[in-house]
Amino acid sequence: MAGEFDFGIEAAAEPQVYFQTLPNPTRQQDQVVRVTPNAKYKSGSVRFQTQFTARTNSASKVPVEQFLLNLTEAFLEWRKYPVNLKLGVNTHNWGYMDGFSPLDVVNTKVYLDLLNSEKRGSPGLDITYEADTWSFQGLYIPVQQLPVMPATDSRWLPRFFLIDTALDDITLQLPKEFDYIYGSEEIFDQALANNFGFRFQKRFSKADLGLVYFEGVAQAPQFGIEVTGSLIDANTILVDSDVRLTPLFHRQRVSGVQLAYTISDIILKIESAYTEAITNNSEIPTWTYQNALGLEIPFYIGSRTLNVLVQGYYGDSDIGKDNLLSSSTRIFDESAALGFRYGIDSHTSILATGVYDFSTDSYFAHAQFNKGIGKYAEVMLAYDFFAGEETTLLGSFNRNERVTFRLAFRY
């Protein structure tokens, strides 16, 4: 019996223009180009699937921005009901929530752009047993890929203030021009090795219930911060020059519950996650819990649908927030998100989303327009805006207001 082969590719150019200029060496624009080929081969109960993204940014002089190859899929699958087995590199979507999901914790990520982080593929074994109304999935990942940190000339590293939680939330006031330097990463408790997890899902007539457990490396590292400077006041240090950031990769356990419930056309989603650190270090949170509640509500306007998304988050941790990648999920300690999507026609749509952080009185807004051109092309125009105190995570990016144009071709 002959097999079936399928190949596709997407190529996209994404110039990004920022409204405000930042001191050198920070980039004033981005010229991102991505090429994402994918291939599938299926013969009987066996399938092979692969996908990767090659990414460049000609506006940067940092090697990781100039070229990055991110392999997201390269796995062999064998499916014979009730067993589904995958062996190789894959990405896993364990969360129910759109946007930030407290239980989507398996894969590490590429953080070159904090608004468009991409998952890195995890090499390992994925076995799922499916019954009529329930399924059980087990994962084993012998070695995780390291996440990719924001480049040292990136606008996604703070440029005016840093919060150092290891020094009782001391504020580091940064000089006008300086360089970020990444120190050699520190990996505790073999955090990248022998990651594993389990997911149980039960299907009811109007609801899906999930139980999740995962032990492995935290998606984003904590950071050790090394600077020299002089004390301005009891809580502020004026930094002399360069800032050294040492990524600290730690091991943790995440357990939680998730629920999706359909009420007529409305979908209610709930997620709750508790994270316990296995690594014992003063710069790493011992515990964190995060809860999310969301509603997806459709409104029918003629023959078209306006989809509205309303989400609320509440969480806490035993360590304070900094304003680096390490606290990116802490935006959702006390926050709300609102989103709208409207399809003008089958090829045209508009999207608007916003997140408000009540704990820091800061917010982020995004607006987007998509238009399909013929069968193979699409254009996108997007706008991003931040507002908040400079010492908060969202406020650190006040000057990252930008417009993004994207032209993509798919085959």
Does the structure show a pLDDT above 80 at 162? yes
State which H helix or E strand residue 131 sits in.
none
Q: Which amino acid is at 81?
A: Y
Query: pLDDT digits over 279-317, tens only?
Result: 998 889 999 999 999 999 999 998 899 999 999 999 999
CA–CA gap between residue 147 and residue 185 (Å, rounded): 11
pLDDT tens-place string over residues 384-408: 999 999 999 999 999 999 999 999 9
**Rg of the chain's alpha carbons, rounded to an integer?**
22
Is 68 in contact with 55 (CB distance < 8 Å)?
yes
How high is the pLDDT of residue 336? 98
User: What confidence score (pLDDT) does residue 320 get?
Assistant: 87
Residue 216, pLDDT > 60, answer: yes
pLDDT band at 139; cut points 50, 70, 90: very high
pLDDT, tens digit, for every residue of 60-91? Answer: 999 999 999 999 999 999 999 999 999 999 99
CA–CA separation, 68 vs 72, rounded Å?
Answer: 12
H-helix segments, 13-146:
63-66
- Say if CB 187 and CB 143 are below 8 A apart: no
Model pLDDT for residues 2-43, shown as the tens digit of each residue: 789 999 999 999 999 999 999 989 999 999 999 999 999 999
- Amino acid identity for residue 70 in this structure: N
pLDDT at 378 over 70: yes
User: What band does 1 get if pLDDT is binned at 50, 70 and 90?
Assistant: low
Tell me whether strands 134-143 and 193-203 are parallel, antiparallel or unpaired: antiparallel
Are 34 and 12 in contact by the 8 Å Cβ rule? The answer is: yes
